[in-house]
Amino acid sequence: MKRVRIQAAAAAIAMLCTCGICASAEENVRGDLNADGVTDRADVLLLRDWLLTKSTEADSVRGDLNNDSHVDARDLTLLKRRIAPTSEEHDWILEPKGTIHSGEATFYGGGYEGGCAMLDPVSKDYWIVAMNLPDYNCAELAGAYLEVTGELGTINVLVTDLLPEGKKGDLDLYTDAFPLIAPAEKGRVPVTWKIVPLDTAEDAPLNYRYKVGSTEFWCAVQVRNHRYPIERLEYLNSDGEFVELPRRNFNYFEAQSGLGKGPFTFRITDIYGQVVIDEDIPFTPDEVQEGHVQFPE
């Protein structure tokens, strides 16, 4: 049963992460919110203002870059990458802090081992949860800490797995966690949730994990113990320039040609546009490496 779930998740992630923006005439208008014939920073600011205040109207076609019938923060991410894939600006945000999401919650018995976020070993000190594809967004919310509220109360959960069949807003809680927010016999219930600061990040720095098989010639890096979810990871190259590493759907940032022998300097941006620089990070493929900085609240 678990293998079927993982296979379904892998197929769903691949479809989501490779869809891109089509080159048809219809797709070319997507992102041009002010209809001036150019997709540029002005369109990004229009969409960002709408997400922050809902004070302007967002075009349901032009603003829906990922074609999921919603105009939301995922579209903002796609739009700003479309116009400035190597931009040095870090003032973009996924959503305002404290944004409330709505959906339905179910429960299952996985997530502590073999979850799609590849966060093993996951501490039993946490309740864990699987997240729907649109909100998970190619591992963007992997490791996010959520405050989930149901009819019986509120709990905090760690995103460790994927719910490929879920709709936007849906969550799949660990079996023992579900009864804390709703009667287990109901099976599926309405919930609200929001991203909150990870508790262990209050008094500990970011951590880094290099994927098994990483060498100086090929490397994949995972950021852990982040106060808020990670939007971007860059490394300082030998020319003194920060280079962005592409995020892969298995929750690692990949350097196809490697990063060298280390130590490394990383620049990390969270989903709220907060930026930290972590220096002198050793290359330790066989263990989680502790950094020196943490995101502010």
Strand-pair partners of 232? 269
The structural domains of the chain, with segments of one domain joined by +, span 2-83, 101-196, 203-290
What's the pTM? Answer: 0.74
- State yes or no: pLDDT of 112 exceeds 90: yes
In which element (H, E) is residue 174 found?
strand 171-174
Mean pLDDT estimate for the chain: 84
| pLDDT at residue 254, as a whole number | 94
Q: Are 230 and 271 in contact (CB under 8 A)?
A: yes
User: What are the pLDDT digits (tens) for 54-75?
Assistant: 555 556 678 887 777 777 767 7
Domain 2-83 has CATH 3.30.1490.20: no
| pLDDT at residue 1, as a whole number | 40
- State yes or no: pLDDT of 245 exceeds 80: yes
> pLDDT band for position 28 (50/70/90)?
low
Q: What is the mean pLDDT of residues 88-96?
A: 61
Burial of 157 (0-12, 13-18, 19+ CB in 10 A): buried
- Pick from 27-31, 236-240, 277-281: least confident: 27-31
Q: What whole-number distance in Å separates Cα of residue 32 and Cα of residue 193?
A: 31
- State yes or no: pLDDT of 25 exceeds 50: no
| pLDDT at residue 86, as a whole number | 46
> pLDDT above 90 covers what percent of the chain?
62
> pLDDT band for position 124 (50/70/90)?
very high
Per CATH, the architecture of 101-196 is what?
Answer: Beta Barrel (2.40)
| Fold of the 203-290 domain | Immunoglobulin-like (2.60.40)
Q: Percent helix, strand, coil in the chain (nearest 5)?
A: 20, 30, 55
